[in-house]
Amino acid sequence: MEYRNMRRIFGALIFVLIAGAAILSSCEHHSFLVETVDPVDSVYFGAVIQPLLEKKCAACHGGSKDPDLRADRSYESLVSGDYVTLPAEESRLYRKVISSGHAAYTLPEEKLKILYWITQGAKNNK
């Protein structure tokens, strides 16, 4: 093969590699999550966490299975059952939410909201 052709092919290859790396890193999971859930902003229980638990969990955790995650009960049962202790990563609630049996019930950004809410003290804020 001619030297000029080889240079062209090599150049095209480098271009594809760089473009590919740029595309891959731009849609990296982590940066997407950080944009979706701001760790500095408060994650409010009333506005965010309670509706999430009601929508994603209460069908099963509707009173007969601990913790009770119905809207009017979830805060009380999470706190009294010791589900939302610090450090948040090791809390019973977060560990369950990311466990293989439960991971499919929430989206990645929902898991992160739960984590941040616990990190911020698991307050019963609106």
Task: Give contact residues for ligand HEC (rule: CB under 6 A).
Answer: 53, 56-57, 59-61, 65-67, 83, 92-93, 96-97, 101-102, 105-106
Residue closer to ligand HEC, measured from CB, 16 or 60: 60
Assign residue 63 a region (left: φ > 0; alpha: ψ between -120 and 50; beta: otherwise).
left
Q: What's the length of the chain?
A: 126
**Ranges of H-type helices in the chain:** 3-26, 29-36, 50-56, 74-80, 92-98, 108-119
Shortest CB 126 distance to ligand HEC, Å: 20
Shortest CB 40 distance to ligand HEC, Å: 24
Residue closer to ligand HEC, measured from CB, 7 or 65: 65
CB 43 within 8 A of CB 116: yes
Shortest CB 60 distance to ligand HEC, Å: 3
Q: Which residue reads 């740029």 in tokens?
A: 22
Shortest CB 39 distance to ligand HEC, Å: 20
Phi/psi for 117 (5° steps) reads -60, -45
Residue closer to ligand HEC, measured from CB, 55 or 123: 55
